[in-house]
Structure 1
Amino acid sequence: MPAPERIPTGSLTAVELLAKGELTVRGRIREASNAVLYCSVAYEGESAHCVYKPVAGERPLWDFPDGTLAQREVAAYEVSAALGWDLVPPTVLRDGPYGEGMVQLWIETPAEGAEDVDGAENAENAEDAEQADGGLLALVDGDEPGEGWKAVGLADVGEGRTALLVHADDERLRRLAVLDAVINNGDRKGGHLLPAEGDRLYGIDHGVTFNVDDKLRTLLWGWAGEPLTAEAVAALTRLAAVLAPGEPLATRLAELITAAELDALRDRVAGLLADGVHRSPSGEWPPIPWPPV
């Protein structure tokens, strides 16, 4: 296992390191649906580990324009940063050994240990939900989630049995649920939750986001219909302001997603503020991603 990455502590920011540093491919994440490469990046005496997803390695999707997933990952980072929650690791769009792609800071998690990378280890595709998300998801018997947990729904566990899928009643997950509703995340799986040092929680894999149609699929439905927190309302209010035409964030996002998708993003933020509650499943799209982990 390589040494853990470190976010630069000097004048060089993580984004600058990812954007300007020399990328060296160290391994390949085998289980990813698209090409995902484990890399090191170095610049002006600083170094870190990162994930590089070249556009050339993206598989076409029927509901997303070809070659746009990397841009959507960067847009998700920009929106997360604007909310003030920093739920997405630093992410940039840049040229690399296999062409333009998304480069994102590698986040070491306690779950790392499975050999999922040729020449390296990876936590991005852990096989076990409890292992991948630090105990934030669970399957329990009965119809009630229990104290400290929120119910998602019943899951088939085989042999004619069902169990209740639950997630922790955790403020970090609750912020992610708001972010996912904002960016219209079509794939919030358990393996996309990365607990890190300092009680941090990150979400990764945001390629299928920002569609103009309702695509929200997530395991974080436990707060559906409940009032947004005051913190979320304040964050969404700030986001709405910086999404106005002519604002730097709006200009940046216009380089990453289409004009129609940017308008839809503004509409989702306005809708959340007007309704004042967490999103509920629309009934027009499968609400749970598959596989859920």
Structure 2
Amino acid sequence: MSDFTSNFWSIYVTALTIVGIIACLLLLWITARKKVVATSDNTTGHVWDEDLTEMNNPMPRWWMWLFVITIVFGFGYLAAYPGLGKFTGKLGWTQKGEYDAEMAKAKTELEPLYARFASMKPEDVARDPQAMAIGDRLFMNNCAQCHGSDARGSKGFPNLADGDWLHGGSPEKIRETLTLGRIGNMPPMAAAVGTPEDVRNLAHYVLSLSGSPHDSLRASLGKPKFMACAACHGMDGKGNQALGAPNLTDDIWLHGWGEAAITAMINNGKVNQMPAQAEKLTEAQIGVLAAYVWGLSNKPTAAK
């Protein structure tokens, strides 16, 4: 209810809730008072399907009292817990407080386990079956939504199992990426390259760097235009991990392959973001997750 921008919605919800409960109580009271005139055989006179006769038996009192108890419980619940607009309840319970308490309990219980992993080298953590089981759960809960359950990514989301890294694939670099996040920015370069034909020629030159199918004539014409790209990708096109500039010679394409995809990248640029995990995960969890991700492309031998 803290998202309300005025008191109107708080009052509205409170009134609607109370009126609803009172209306149920009133309906129960009216129904209990209403008497149906019975015939001599104790029926209401209603017959369905030729032989189904409605008897005039009253509702059992215990059944009616269940309704009354439910309504009383509803008032008690709303007094103790949030449910009436901005009123927080006498017990002060909140979902956030419950979540924080559960997370604190889990952290306390797992602290000795994570302490053991913290004293190990990342390479050794990646060989520990228990650590990898924990890392797998962390990955599924926090990373698989973008990188896939098999960590092989998809268009726009890097494959973490192939050994190709934009910012470096050492355990330290992976941990840095998880902690701080990354923002990849490929600026639109069409103005620096020249005409649309120059952009097409450059796209074919970029394709030629990885040995991909290309037009060799256009590639030769586009080679001089690569000077606009060399500041980030290097003269040899092998990229620069310090800048997060991809290697253009390895035939791995994050945002699509072919003339059309590369031309669109040159014309429009691209901004990608890897969100920081420091606010979601503890330092110890990030350490285990970093070792797990490193292990995906290094396949360490499990400890015996």
**TM bracket, shorter-chain basis:** under 0.3
Question: Which entry has the higher C-alpha Rg, 1 or 2?
Answer: 2
TM-score for both structures, normalised by structure 1: 0.23
Which structure carries more helix by proportion?
A: 2
Which structure carries more strand by proportion?
A: 1
